[in-house]
């Protein structure tokens, strides 16, 4: 498609055309100062337009709001071994806003799994305000999320300014759930704030910097305000494949058992029980021996900054890094999950009686816990997961079908009739790669529950569901 055709399909207003011209000029001036990562992002989102035009389109308004702020669709990496379709299917709209002193905080959409949820939002200053920050400055805010089962893990709120000439800043809220119940389906209260700006100044003579967190006049109107979103339902879809392999794997100086394995579009999670887990739990139960540093007491908690911990942290990292995790896709591609997204250890009822040592951890497919995006992966494309050198298949060895989680039928939305002359296969998932559950003859009436990837989700006997090609079903 030509640039002319791209613009015609957008349909600029006269005002937006004038605005685009001005932004083209600014984009040309800014190109030399942009990082390579920014240029790659503009190129990927714009679909190969001329750089100056693409950058201006990224910064324009009105009809191009979705490109200016692509939300989770633009933040996650779906180019390598992830799939844009899987991300689209997993996004749930929140659409909640709160306004105070002319400032508005909006929670737009979320996506997650059993161990974490990403929430994309927006912070808008009063009309006419320009949210321009120093080079080493930006917004900051404390954030916590409370659910029916209590606080849901640690939370980070990050702010990104896609256009330093307007009054909007994008916001990514990233709670990490490391214990307790899954946030999926939870009705929570999310508290954000106060929201203030901070910045760093440097002394050119000494090279030392000072972090200023007191805030400036820019955020004075909201500096003492907490934004509270009550009754926020995190009703994003369940896209996780779960297994209970009970497979023994080598770890540390012995072996342990993989009791649970979960593969979601956002990460892979493993539960280990028994055996050498005891060595890890014993280490985590000891107190580091600090030498030097500054001891700080906050309430009933005492911690030390700086100094040495006697190698305690080094030992912990060594033990965790000895757990290897690798995914092999159906096409042979190997994926090495990197950053630890969740981690906890304790004792529980399990393989060795009422006090079995256990360790749970999860890894994202790349990126880190900060602003670097992680990749999205389609669990249905995973052939097997290798934990500490032991392969655990996600597909059935008998028929090559997917080990997708068992699902129960919901109330029917509509009804269809099988039109294929030789009958129709009903499979375990939405694709021909999934195993055949049953075959139904022509004329069979099926309750249709939904649609995915060209297949209807249909109700089967016993309350189970399957997937059948929509090309061979006539909807009544």
Residues 6+ away with beta carbon under 8 Å from 159: 123, 138, 139, 140, 141, 169, 170, 171, 172
Note whether 224 and 124 are same-domain residues: yes
Q: Are residues 263 and 297 in the same domain?
A: yes
**The token pair that represents 189 in the structure block:** 């209260």
Q: Which residue stretches of 47-122 are H helix? A: 51-59, 65-68, 72-75, 84-90
59-65 long-range contacts (CB < 8 A, ≥24 apart) are 59/23, 59/26, 59/27, 59/162, 59/163, 59/165, 60/16, 60/19, 60/20, 60/23, 61/16, 61/19, 61/166, 62/12, 62/13, 62/15, 62/16, 63/10, 63/11, 63/12, 63/13, 63/16, 64/10, 64/16
Residue 108 shares a structural domain with residue 200: yes
Q: Look at residue 279 and tell me if it is in a domain.
A: yes
- Contact yes or no for 73/44 (Cβ under 8 A): no
Burial of 171 (0-12, 13-18, 19+ CB in 10 A): buried
Q: CA 438, CA 351: separation in Å to the nearest integer?
A: 37
Q: How many domains does the chain divide into?
A: 4
Residues 372 and 248 in one domain: yes
DSSP 19: H
- Domain of residue 34, residue span: 3-68
Which residue, among 161, 71, 115, has the nearest Cα to 369 in the 3D structure?
Answer: 115
Q: Tokens standing for 308?
A: 């040495």
CATH number at 227 reads: 2.60.40
Residue 283 to residue 252: CA distance in whole angstroms: 12
Q: Residue 445 to residues 220, 373, 415, 472, 474: CA-CA distances in angstroms? A: 64, 45, 7, 12, 9
End-to-end C-alpha distance for the chain, whole angstroms: 38
One domain for residues 98 and 227: yes
Q: Which of 233, 258, 276 is the last residue of a domain?
A: 233
Please tell me whether residues 282 and 360 are part of one structural domain.
yes
| Token pair listed for 272 | 């280990």
CATH code of the domain covering residue 440: 2.30.30.40
Count the Cβ atoms, other than its own, within 10 Å of residue 78. Answer: 21
pLDDT for the residue 207 = 79
> Distance between alpha carbon 266 and the CA centroid of its chain, in Å?
5
CA distance 218 to 211: 17
Contact between 183 and 177 (Cβ < 8 Å): yes
224 domain residue, yes or no? yes
Nearest to 94 by CA among 69, 74, 118: 118
Tens-level pLDDT at each residue, the chain (476 residues)? 333 343 444 444 555 445 555 555 544 544 444 444 444 433 333 333 343 444 343 333 333 333 445 689 888 887 666 688 889 899 999 999 999 999 999 999 999 998 888 999 999 999 999 888 877 789 988 888 887 655 555 577 889 888 888 999 999 988 666 555 678 888 889 999 899 998 888 888 887 888 888 788 999 999 899 999 999 999 999 999 999 999 999 999 999 999 999 999 999 999 999 999 999 999 999 887 767 777 766 555 566 666 667 788 889 999 999 999 999 988 888 898 887 777 889 998 878 778 899 999 999 887 654 456 788 999 998 999 999 999 999 864 333 333 444 444 445 568 999 998 778 888 877 877 666 778 888 899 999 988 888 889 888 876 778 889 998 999 87
Asked if the structure places residue 18 within a domain, the reply is yes
Q: Are residues 373 and 438 in the same domain?
A: no
Q: Do 113 and 47 have their domain in common?
A: no
Q: Clarify whether residues 387 and 428 are in a common domain.
A: no
Domain end residue (candidates: 188, 203, 233):
233
The domain boundary, picked from 203, 233, 263, lies at 233
Helix (H/G/I), strand (E/B), else coil: 112: strand
Q: Do 387 and 253 fall into the same domain?
A: yes
62 inside domain: yes
Cα separation of 400 and 431, whole Å?
Answer: 12
* 115 in a structural domain: yes
- Decide if 339 is inside a domain: yes
Same domain as 304, residue 202: no
**392: its two tokens:** 């655990």
Helix (H, G, I), strand (E, B) or coil at 38: helix
Residue 176 to residue 404: CA distance in whole angstroms: 25
Q: Does residue 84 fall inside a structural domain?
A: no
Sheet holding 382-387, edge to edge: 334-335, 325-329, 382-387, 390-393
For residue 16, being part of any structural domain is answered with yes
- 219 shares a domain with 247: no
């Amino acid at each position: 498609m030509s640039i002319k055709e791209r613009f015609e399909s957008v349909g600029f207003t006269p005002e937006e055309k004038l605005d685009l011209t001005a932004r083209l000029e600014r984009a040309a001036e800014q190109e030399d100062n942009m990082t390579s990562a920014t240029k790659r992002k503009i190129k990927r989102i714009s679909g190969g337009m001329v750089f100056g035009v693409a950058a201006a389109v990224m910064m324009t308004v009105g009809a191009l709001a979705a490109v200016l702020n692509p939300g989770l669709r633009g933040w996650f990496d779906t180019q390598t071994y992830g799939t844009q379709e899987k991300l689209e299917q997993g996004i749930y709209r929140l659409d909640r806003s709160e306004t105070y002193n002319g400032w508005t905080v909006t929670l737009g959409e979320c996506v997650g799994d059993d161990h974490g949820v990403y929430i994309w939002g927006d912070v808008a200053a009063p009309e006419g305000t320009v949210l321009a920050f120093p080079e080493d400055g930006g917004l900051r805010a404390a954030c916590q999320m409370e659910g029916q089962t209590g606080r849901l893990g640690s939370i980070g709120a990050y702010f990104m300014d896609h256009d330093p000439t307007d009054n909007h800043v994008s916001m990514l809220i990233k709670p990490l759930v490391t214990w307790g119940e899954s946030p999926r389906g939870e009705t929570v209260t999310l508290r954000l704030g106060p929201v203030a700006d901070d910045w760093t100044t440097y002394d050119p003579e000494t090279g030392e910097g000072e972090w200023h967190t007191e805030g400036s006049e820019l955020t004075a109107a909201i500096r003492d305000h907490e934004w509270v979103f009550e009754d926020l339902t995190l009703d994003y879809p369940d896209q996780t494949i779960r297994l209970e392999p009970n497979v023994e794997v080598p770890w540390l100086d012995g072996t342990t058992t993989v009791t649970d394995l979960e593969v979601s579009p956002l990460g892979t999670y493993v539960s280990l029980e028994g055996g050498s887990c005891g060595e890890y739990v014993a280490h985590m139960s000891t107190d580091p021996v600090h030498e030097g540093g500054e001891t700080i007491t906050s309430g009933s908690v005492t911690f030390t900054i700086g100094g040495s911990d006697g190698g305690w942290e080094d030992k912990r990292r060594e033990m965790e890094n000895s757990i290897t995790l690798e995914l092999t896709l159906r096409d042979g591609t190997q994926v090495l999950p990197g950053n630890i997204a969740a981690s906890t250890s304790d004792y529980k009822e399990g393989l060795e009686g009422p006090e079995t040592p256990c360790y749970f951890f999860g890894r994202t497919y790349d990126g880190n816990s900060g602003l670097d995006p992680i990749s999205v992966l389609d669990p249905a494309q995973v052939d097997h997961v290798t934990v500490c050198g032991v392969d655990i298949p996600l597909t059935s060895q008998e028929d090559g079908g997917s080990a997708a989680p068992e699902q129960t039928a919901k109330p029917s939305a509509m009804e269809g009739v099988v039109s294929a002359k030789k009958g129709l296969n009903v499979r375990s998932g939405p694709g021909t790669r999934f195993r055949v559950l049953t075959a139904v003859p022509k004329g069979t009436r099926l309750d249709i529950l939904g649609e995915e990837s060209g297949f209807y989700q249909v109700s089967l006997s016993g309350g189970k569901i399957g997937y059948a090609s929509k090309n061979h079903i006539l909807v009544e």
